Structure 1
Amino acid sequence: MRSRTTVRNGIGMLASVLLLFLTTLPLAAQTTGQVAGRITNANTGEPLGGAQIVIQGTTAGTMANPQGRYLLLNVPVGTHTIEVTRLGFALQSMQVTVGAGETAVADFALRTEAINLDELVVTGTAGSARRREIGNTVGVITSDDLEAQPITSVTDVLQGRTAGLTVTSMGGNAGSGSEIMLRGVNTLGGPGGNRPLIYVDGVRMETSYYGDSGEANTRAGSFDNLDPNTIERIEIIKGAAATTLYGTEAAGGVIQVFTKSGGGGAARWTFSTSQGFSEIGHVGPKEDPTGLHMNDCSMDPGCPESGSWLRKGYVQQYDFAVQGGTDVPYFFSANVEDQRGNIEPQGATTMSLRGNFRFEPFNGFSIRSNNMFTRRDITFVPDGNNAEGLILNVMRWERDYSPGHDDSAVLGMNLRQQIDHFITGINIQWSPSASMNHRLNVGLDYQSADYTEERPWGFFYKPEGDRQNDLELDRNITADYAGSWTTDLRVPFLGSDLSSNLSWGAQYYDEFSWGVYGFGENFAGPGEKLVESGTYTEANESWVRTASGGFFLQEQFGWNDRFFVTLGARWDGFSTFGENFGLAFYPKAQAAYTISDHNFWPGWWETMKLRFALGESGRAPAPFASNRTWTADAGDDGQPGLILSELGNEDVGPERTREIEGGFEASLFEGRLSLDFTYFHQQTRDALLRLDRPASIGTEQAILTNLGKVENVGFEFTANASLVTTSDISFDLGGTFYHGNDEVVSLGPVTDERLQGRPVSALFGDCVTNPDAMDERPNFEDCYLGTPRPTTTFGITPRLTFFGNLTLEGLGEYQGGHIKQNGTARQNIRRRFYAPCQDVIDAVYADRANEANYTAAELAKCSYRDANYGPWTMAGDFFRIRSLALSYRMPESLIPSSISGMTLRLQGRNLWYWTKEYNHDPETHGYTGPTGGWYSTSREYYGLPIPRVFMFSATVNF
């Protein structure tokens, strides 16, 4: 009886709840409605997917789909202001009235705005700041810039898009890294000393190259571990005038990557795939039909059945992403990429995962978490300056090192690397009031690289074989805090339009690197090996930890929201500073003036901002530069002992770079033309140099000392123009230009008259003093050859759109003003095999008396008796078509209703290049390393050219 009563009561309660739920549905419908519409380009009618739509004064919002359509659900009844924003377009708002259970329609046609002075910028500022408030230039690359480009690595993203940013590839090996440089050279520390700092969502990333593929003449770089499809935007600041608040180590500039976030309500799914191939065209001089036997090896032992060492490398990519959320915005993505190289067994496979989310426990307080994991597996082939290298042995033909001239024997070497990279960060924002903001950012960058190099038992170069296994770990911790307080100041003679923004903060960075290196050789027989399988083994271990910390203070005054003055300073401590040095002090001062806000300014010139910035940053001395160090050694009878290794310098401090930057940003003719000009002057004092000490002090090692002075001067210019704008067709053309020159001003007591007044990267070599003489051997003397660093670059980005959904766009880049040394030509001539010089080579080899028929300059270049690097130093100028892409956005009428958008693309990369003099790939060079020197960057030496890439991709949005 009791159980029946319980059942009846339960059924009654369930019925009551169900009845209550059903009766509240109409009530909910009576108190809410929805807003729908479409976002388009006002000039072309092209749909603007990715536009952000929010209800003013609330957190409710969504994002437009690829067709530009949006839907806001559960909007309270009444009148609301809808705001729409999108990068590159002016903010637009509209009032709508929402009725109960009804759908209000609000369509927006956004006007392009090439220069948006209200755009928020984060990099180089104490917090976020509007562009109108900043006195330095900031380069921005958005996801729109990347969408249609055939990008196989993140460094592809940077090439040719920002004035003053130069990217140089290491070569055509799959997985090869690249050198990144901003505004040329301002240090004596070699190529590695000029690398910019890189931050990912506020977490600093270690950017040194992974070891150790010296056998492959290349290195993989950590920047390429990022998935380009997850990038929302990249901000670039290029010098000390902008990087002061980043302190020591930021003199080379800062690149900050911001990844995508969620929001916009319901989940939006994206799947994309790319399929294609890479190929290498004709190798070497056009006079050689065999392409130095790389393209045609049919007469060579060991040649593949195809008759060429080169193959098409299959490339495939798969990307999956989902984003959405209102209370907890989220973004998750997964990427898999496989890139086969152009020589068997070369290749690289990448798997990447990302998860970002944000939530607000209460109003004014938000927590954001950004997380990434990437694994890369790379297989190299022996390359470059390497007696076991495939390229060297093939190109030298019968003067190679391979047994019986069978160059396939070198491919028995196993060169592999596995890289794991994990980045995680927590960002906390707290705004206790409208005038105060606090930000705390803590993050971890963890990387590991496992490198294996093995010559199997029976390998021609080492018959008993050997194995090397290197494991490297990098653990880097970033922690920074920044606070700001904004208020209005009342100054009688200025009125009430004076604002103040006081900012303060501190940063801590801890870097730990550990490595263990094992080597074993002379195996007893074939089969799988361990290092310990060798009859001779050795092992090494190393670890280095450095820490830095600093704090800053900044005050910004603004008048009438058009004139801003910023004063600030940073104080820095660094574990590699000498004990007697103390803290480094870096001041900054900026001014920004939007003169176009005055009534007298002409209407056709809608935006004109003048800016000026002065600031200082630094570059820390190397670890142990200030410490006296000792090396363990064995004395008599094997007794342990110590030998003085480094004397150390207790007074050593950072290099100090001071930069002055000035320029303007302008927009004319309703945004159809935008201009950005910057002049900069950098001066580096206390440049670090090694000063020799007498051997009588107990060591022959020079000590690192602050001695030198370097100057670097140049200018940058960016222009974007909408040349044709109709409802059916639009044509936009963008361009960037950079020119800069650096100079060694002083080396202190280190006297080298050759370098004074020359570029930091100046190269010297043999020049012929009797070039026109006949019947004479060449006379050589040491002379200045030039600089391997491009002093002039420009990029061009045309974009042509038909009917709002068919787009053709490209990217071309020129680099010039530098030199390139053809090491392949010089070495092949010494071995009497190089087509452009074959007539001279054969004549002199047949009878040395024939030398009388040639000038000394011709002999210095083409005679196997005289060929030298000086005569084979040529202008390195080149122009390259970086990318070309044709995109088609499918009309809504042609796709199923379950799909919100579909885009098809045909893409090509590195399609063609022109060189002024050089007859090999103009960008190929070997690994430079942190101390590799400028000769490494200037000399091509049996490197694999950069391949062309052709891709077809499809992107589907749900």
Structure 2
Amino acid sequence: MQFGRTPQVHASTNRRATFSRWSTRMVAALTCLVAGQAAAAQTVGVITGRVTEQGSGQPVAAVSVTIPGTTNGTLTGEDGRYTLRQVASGNVVVSFTRIGFEAGRTTVAVQEGAPATGDFQLKAAVLSLQAFVTTVTGPTRKIELGTTTAQIAVADRIAELPVNTMGNLLSGRAAGVQVASAGATGAGSRIRIRGQSSLSMGNDPLIYVDGVRVISNTAQGGGSGPSRFDDLAPSEIESIEVIKGPSAATLYGTEAANGVINITTKKGKSGRTTWSVFTENGVISDPNKGDYPSLYYGWHTVNGAVPLTSCRLTQVATNICKQDSVSSNNPLNNALTTPLGNGRRNNFGLQVSGGTDRVQFFVAGDGQEEIGVYRMPNLEIVRLKAERGVSELPDWQVRPNALSRVNLRANLTAQLSTNANIQLSSGYVTSTQRLPQNEDNSQGLMVNALGGTGGRTDSLGSRDSRGIRLYGQFAGPMGDVFSVQNRQDIQRFTNSLAARWQPIDWLSTRATAGLDLTNVTGFSGNYINESLPGNGRVNGSLTSARTQIAQYTVDIGATASNKISNSIGSKFSAGVQYFRNLNEQSSGTGTVLVAGCTTTSCAANATTSQSTNESITLGTYLEEVISFGDRLFVTAALRFDDNSAFGSSFNGARYPKAAVSYAISDEAWFPKNRVLDNLRLRSAYGASGQAPGNNAAFRFYSANSLTGPNSAISAGAQLAAVGNPNLAPEFSAEYEGGFDLGLFGGATNLEATYFNKVTRDALIDRDIAPSGTGLSSVTTNIGKTRNAGVEFVLNQRILDRRNLAFNINVTGSSTRNKLVTLGDGVSPIFTGNRTTQKNTSGYPLFGLWGRTYTYNDRNGDGIIQAPTGTVGAANYDAGDLTISDTAQFIAPTFPKLEVAISPALELFDHKLRINAQFDHKSGFRKLNNTLRHQCQGGASCRGLFDKSVGLEAQAAAVALNSYGALTGFYDDGAFTRLRELSVGYQMPDRLARLVRASRWNVVATGRNLAVWTKYKGVDPEATTGNSDARGFEEFFSTPPLRTVTFRMNFTF
């Protein structure tokens, strides 16, 4: 009998035997590969050199300089110089690679006792088929892959980008990657790679940092929550690689169906120690301030003896009342009541890197403080000080939205010998975050400001039960709303150790082990008499929760390279991976607090809870790559996974992969001309999956209290889940094909890709026959979805002169998804607020549905008349609306089209740089739930009272209140936004030397500076919650905030 804790793996004998055979064979293969090592004594020498950019002659830092076939390598310093020691004498090939440059090689003659020189010039290029990409089997040349991988060179650009989160950093920089960021300070990002494919298991990608899987989930609920992905500091990142979908992520195994994001942090460089310092200050504002929807009220003259408190247009149309006037009220525009102000941002960082040829180090610290735009109105500060008899209010009450975070990092690379090295990566994060009550919260601050009625003004004597003026606010004085705390404290360690050993020329081995450990302490609630009256919390209510999440990673693999003939090569890889995720939580809630009490321990009523969830995955893989003439590459691979959440009768998951990459332009017979530089054709098929919920496969019980004779209470157990021993992961198989094209001497580079992903065995809760247990469903593998589209990347260099350079980068994708089938006997699944989304066969996931209508002002009075009388009776009048009998599909909630255009201009010998990003999304609709609430529960929208608003808005209000139809609030969410703008200038060297710096640049940046849209709500990107089930719904949401910063960067 299982209670509470997630059951461990209960595999059948057959399943264990199958995996045992795989593991035994894998260990035997690795043993055979290593067994043949033979050490040969040889003379050694040293290679030194400098890497510069072709054309400008400027030094290129952070270039990876390696000797192919060995683990001997280093990075160039800020001056472009490098040194390789312990190099075998003779003619040695040296390889140079860096994101943003074409890879290159040179041969250096090495003699014992005499340093050899290996200078090299790298050519800048966006599309480089020789560039290296991080894969499960290790760094792999891009030309060998049959899939497309987005590479973002962060270290080169981060100092001049207006980004403060990892979500901001990804946005618009990789085709097919969509980032939805909530507006509040510290609220998390929702990342989707190639759209949505899973109805119930989520669509988040996996995140790896320096080879270790890390926690990246975003809190979900009625409002926006923090994202663990945003715990990382962008200033620490060297590069990001986005591996898109199962066709590319097969070897990452179960959970990689939604793609993988590989993050590499900065490493040390040999040479003199380099110090980098930056400081940044900025202002945060709400660009929609003054544009929020006002609250309306219709005033009237009483007809006959029927006194009315308001007069709606529908009542005017039927002569129930006659409006004298229409008034409006907006607490957000009232200086006495508005919670909107300006926020601020401060960021400071220090980085040190250096080392010898054998050991390099990188140490960094990054501290930031950000205060959001919400501020308690001065009127309320004065009132609460007087009521409480204090001179100051707590800062968390005055400014309820804030983030304070410190990131520390130490990375170490050591070359143990000419054929072995290790890398230690260690990161620590501590943060305190405050998020206000907001969004889908009846006592949230924006609900309080915009959820009332236009008639609640002082002229009506509107006050709460204590006699405090409301100024048109919904629930009560804003100071009471601000007095509820919602805080989260984080302490997080992310550590990894990676080792590489090349015992013989044709064999390289690798091992990585790491732990991502996160401790979260959450605190929410209010103290006694510090809340809205009448809400059950006035006597105090506190909740404290402690969560520890541990993500373990062990990855061991080997690759054997062999030259079958002069033109045919083979590369065989094998490996074993182990992942364990352990989530332990305990929480306590206390109500009715003693005066002065600040913890749950002094509450009159207290409850506690505890939970533990564990997931374990053990996987093995095999991969073979055959190359023909170093231009045609054929790959075949297979991965086998076992997971603790699989049913006991399921014998593990098998994920196949096949890929072809063909640099056809390298063929001797291919036409050569000045236009076409290179052309690569690629195609791939691969599969991955998503595991069921940790408990979904298992039959287990929960504790319960039983009442016996004489009302005696005893402990008992109750069936909590029936389980499913046949439960398997969702299986996602994807085909992709495309080409990479270079034209006009590298001036034009184009990547285009088509993808088609089918997910079968989708996990769906299917209804079961009623029983005495009260259980109504069981999770089964029964559904099927399809997700397909195209994506492209275009980089166009228009001018490239010393004093004037201009290029444009465009990324884009078009995506469509469809729920192919829910399975036999499964009814449509409704999601979204007020079940506005219907998931049914043949239509998009999370699509908007509703009853459609048409309207016609029959009498031409400028008012849409509502239906009156009784249906079927003689007095029935259908009014000016004609509405459908059933709900119809309206539109998807996920954008079909996304395009990001990023122009870059450089002037005055590349010293003045101007960068921008325009972001466009279209092909979707979103629920304007704020306006829906005002037209229904709040009874304050303009369409109810103001004739001048037009017939469309009136019809939406009538359809909502007369028929419950929400389709009038499904707005077109298409927009184009000026997402980023930055202007950076490198100060003259003579000025830099005055502050003893080798480099000094200043940067002014802006984010979310303008938006062009037909959306009728506050902002097309104002979203509620972080789940796909809410779509991009706006419900009293914080819009994207405008941030303007000034930054200075120094290098010493």
The two structures have a TM-score, normalised by structure 1, of 0.87
How many angstroms apart in 2 are the aligned matches of 1:435 and 1:769? Answer: 73
Secondary structure of residue in 2 paired with 1:128: strand
Is the 1:52–1:85 contact (alpha carbons within 8 Å) kept by the matching residues of 2? yes
What's the counterpart of residue 5 of structure 1?
A: none
Residues 92 and 160 (structure 1 numbering): CA distance in 2 closer, same or farther, change over 3 Å?
same
Is the 2:189–2:1026 contact (alpha carbons within 8 Å) kept by the matching residues of 1? no
What's the counterpart of residue 766 of structure 1?
A: 851
What's the counterpart of residue 139 of structure 2?
A: 128
What's the counterpart of residue 815 of structure 1?
A: 921
How many angstroms apart in 2 are the aligned matches of 1:911 and 1:69? Answer: 37
Structure 1 position 128, deviation (Å) = 2.0
Please say if 1:63 is aligned against 2:76. yes
Please say if 1:907 is aligned against 2:977. no
What's the counterpart of residue 625 of structure 2?
A: 556
What's the counterpart of residue 628 of structure 1?
A: 699
Further displaced range: 771-780 or 139-148: 771-780
Q: Which of the numbers 692, 710, 716 marks the counterpart of 2:785?
A: 710
What's the counterpart of residue 790 of structure 1?
A: 895
Residues 60 and 294 (structure 1 numbering): CA distance in 2 closer, same or farther, change over 3 Å?
same
User: For residue 416 of structure 2, what is the amino acid of its counterpart?
Assistant: P
- Cα distance per residue 1:502-527 (max 9 Å; x no partner): 111111111110111110111232x2
How many angstroms apart in 2 are the aligned matches of 1:699 and 1:833? Answer: 39
- Cα distance per residue 1:470-527 (max 9 Å; x no partner): 111101111111111110114xxxxx311111111111111110111110111232x2
Equivalences for 1:487-498 in 2 at 5 Å? 487-490=562-565, 496-498=566-568
User: How much identity, in percent, do the aligned residues show?
Assistant: 27
Is the 1:487–1:500 contact (alpha carbons within 8 Å) kept by the matching residues of 2? yes
Gaps of 5+ in 1: 1-31, 491-495, 845-852
Please say if 1:206 is aligned against 2:215. yes
Residues 489 and 149 (structure 1 numbering): CA distance in 2 closer, same or farther, change over 3 Å?
same
Structure 1 position 528, deviation (Å) = 3.6
- Cα distance per residue 1:665-724 (max 9 Å; x no partner): 111111111010100111111111111111136342310001011111101011001001
How many angstroms apart in 2 are the aligned matches of 1:574 and 1:522? Answer: 45
How many angstroms apart in 1 are the aligned matches of 2:202 and 2:500? Answer: 34
Equivalences for 1:692-703 in 2 at 5 Å? 692-696=767-771, 698-703=773-778
How many angstroms apart in 1 are the aligned matches of 2:119 and 2:510? Answer: 36
- Cα distance per residue 1:764-818 (max 9 Å; x no partner): 2232255666641544642222221111101111110012211001112111111
Secondary structure of residue in 2 paired with 1:730: strand
Residues 330 and 693 (structure 1 numbering): CA distance in 2 closer, same or farther, change over 3 Å?
same
Further displaced range: 146-155 or 738-747: 146-155
Please say if 1:228 is aligned against 2:234. yes
Structure 1 position 663, deviation (Å) = 0.4
Is the 2:294–2:450 contact (alpha carbons within 8 Å) kept by the matching residues of 1? no
How many angstroms apart in 1 are the aligned matches of 2:701 and 2:563? Answer: 59
- Cα distance per residue 1:325-376 (max 9 Å; x no partner): 1211111100100001111312100101001101122221111110100011
Structure 1 position 264, deviation (Å) = 2.1
Structure 1 position 91, deviation (Å) = 4.1
Equivalences for 1:105-120 in 2 at 5 Å? 110-120=122-132
How many angstroms apart in 1 are the aligned matches of 2:112 and 2:779? Answer: 76
How many angstroms apart in 1 are the aligned matches of 2:270 and 2:295? Answer: 58
Is the 1:771–1:857 contact (alpha carbons within 8 Å) kept by the matching residues of 2? no
What's the counterpart of residue 689 of structure 2?
A: 618
Please say if 1:431 is aligned against 2:502. yes
Secondary structure of residue in 1 paired with 2:993: coil
Structure 1 position 387, deviation (Å) = 2.1
Structure 1 position 949, deviation (Å) = 0.6
Residues 743 and 255 (structure 1 numbering): CA distance in 2 closer, same or farther, change over 3 Å?
same
Further displaced range: 543-552 or 281-290: 281-290
Count of aligned positions: 891
How many angstroms apart in 1 are the aligned matches of 2:294 and 2:725? Answer: 58
User: For residue 353 of structure 2, what is the amino acid of its counterpart?
Assistant: Q
Secondary structure of residue in 2 paired with 1:315: strand
What's the counterpart of residue 299 of structure 2?
A: none
Residues 293 and 50 (structure 1 numbering): CA distance in 2 closer, same or farther, change over 3 Å?
farther
Residues 857 and 320 (structure 1 numbering): CA distance in 2 closer, same or farther, change over 3 Å?
closer
What's the counterpart of residue 13 of structure 1?
A: none
What's the counterpart of residue 861 of structure 1?
A: 957
Residues 200 and 54 (structure 1 numbering): CA distance in 2 closer, same or farther, change over 3 Å?
closer
Secondary structure of residue in 2 paired with 1:858: helix
Please say if 1:685 is aligned against 2:760. yes
What's the counterpart of residue 510 of structure 1?
A: 580
User: For residue 786 of structure 1, what is the amino acid of its counterpart?
Assistant: A
Please say if 1:271 is aligned against 2:280. no
How many angstroms apart in 2 are the aligned matches of 1:418 and 1:434? Answer: 50
How many angstroms apart in 1 are the aligned matches of 2:979 and 2:614? Answer: 39
Structure 1 position 733, deviation (Å) = 0.4
Is the 2:544–2:588 contact (alpha carbons within 8 Å) kept by the matching residues of 1? yes
What's the counterpart of residue 10 of structure 1?
A: none
Residues 33 and 524 (structure 1 numbering): CA distance in 2 closer, same or farther, change over 3 Å?
closer
Structure 1 position 92, deviation (Å) = 5.4
Further displaced range: 769-778 or 71-80: 71-80
User: For residue 181 of structure 1, what is the amino acid of its counterpart?
Assistant: R
Residues 469 and 829 (structure 1 numbering): CA distance in 2 closer, same or farther, change over 3 Å?
same
How many angstroms apart in 1 are the aligned matches of 2:648 and 2:434? Answer: 45
User: For residue 613 of structure 1, what is the amino acid of its counterpart?
Assistant: A
Q: Which of the numbers 317, 329, 334 marks the counterpart of 1:297?
A: 334
How many angstroms apart in 2 are the aligned matches of 1:814 and 1:198? Answer: 26
Structure 1 position 831, deviation (Å) = 5.8
Structure 1 position 293, deviation (Å) = 3.6
Structure 1 position 551, deviation (Å) = 0.5
- Cα distance per residue 1:264-296 (max 9 Å; x no partner): 222111111111111112247577599984652
How many angstroms apart in 1 are the aligned matches of 2:913 and 2:249? Answer: 37
Structure 1 position 103, deviation (Å) = 12
Please say if 1:196 is aligned against 2:205. yes
Structure 1 position 388, deviation (Å) = 1.6
Gaps of 5+ in 2: 1-44, 297-327, 376-398, 457-462, 471-476, 829-837, 859-863, 866-878
Secondary structure of residue in 1 paired with 2:202: helix
Is the 2:93–2:107 contact (alpha carbons within 8 Å) kept by the matching residues of 1? yes
Is the 2:501–2:510 contact (alpha carbons within 8 Å) kept by the matching residues of 1? yes
Please say if 1:805 is aligned against 2:911. yes
Structure 1 position 856, deviation (Å) = 8.2
Structure 1 position 69, deviation (Å) = 5.9
Please say if 1:735 is aligned against 2:810. yes
Is the 1:614–1:659 contact (alpha carbons within 8 Å) kept by the matching residues of 2? yes
User: For residue 212 of structure 2, what is the amino acid of its counterpart?
Assistant: V
How many angstroms apart in 1 are the aligned matches of 2:810 and 2:524? Answer: 44
Structure 1 position 73, deviation (Å) = 11
Q: Which of the numbers 361, 383, 389 marks the counterpart of 1:330?
A: 361
Further displaced range: 467-476 or 74-83: 74-83
Equivalences for 1:558-597 in 2 at 5 Å? 558-597=627-666
User: For residue 823 of structure 1, what is the amino acid of its counterpart?
Assistant: N
Residues 746 and 84 (structure 1 numbering): CA distance in 2 closer, same or farther, change over 3 Å?
closer
Please say if 1:477 is aligned against 2:546. no
What's the counterpart of residue 1043 of structure 2?
A: 949
How many angstroms apart in 2 are the aligned matches of 1:100 and 1:529? Answer: 72
Q: Which of the numbers 316, 327, 345 marks the counterpart of 1:315?
A: 345
How many angstroms apart in 1 are the aligned matches of 2:1033 and 2:754? Answer: 31
Structure 1 position 166, deviation (Å) = 0.5
How many angstroms apart in 1 are the aligned matches of 2:138 and 2:110? Answer: 37
**C-alpha RMSD of the superposition:** 3.2
Is the 2:72–2:84 contact (alpha carbons within 8 Å) kept by the matching residues of 1? no
Structure 1 position 640, deviation (Å) = 1.6
Residues 332 and 912 (structure 1 numbering): CA distance in 2 closer, same or farther, change over 3 Å?
same
What's the counterpart of residue 365 of structure 1?
A: 420
Structure 1 position 79, deviation (Å) = 11
Residues 788 and 772 (structure 1 numbering): CA distance in 2 closer, same or farther, change over 3 Å?
farther
Is the 2:74–2:84 contact (alpha carbons within 8 Å) kept by the matching residues of 1? no
How many angstroms apart in 1 are the aligned matches of 2:793 and 2:552? Answer: 36
Is the 1:615–1:658 contact (alpha carbons within 8 Å) kept by the matching residues of 2? yes
What's the counterpart of residue 404 of structure 1?
A: 469
Is the 1:296–1:309 contact (alpha carbons within 8 Å) kept by the matching residues of 2? no
Is the 1:832–1:842 contact (alpha carbons within 8 Å) kept by the matching residues of 2? no
Secondary structure of residue in 2 paired with 1:941: coil
Secondary structure of residue in 2 paired with 1:576: coil
Residues 763 and 361 (structure 1 numbering): CA distance in 2 closer, same or farther, change over 3 Å?
same
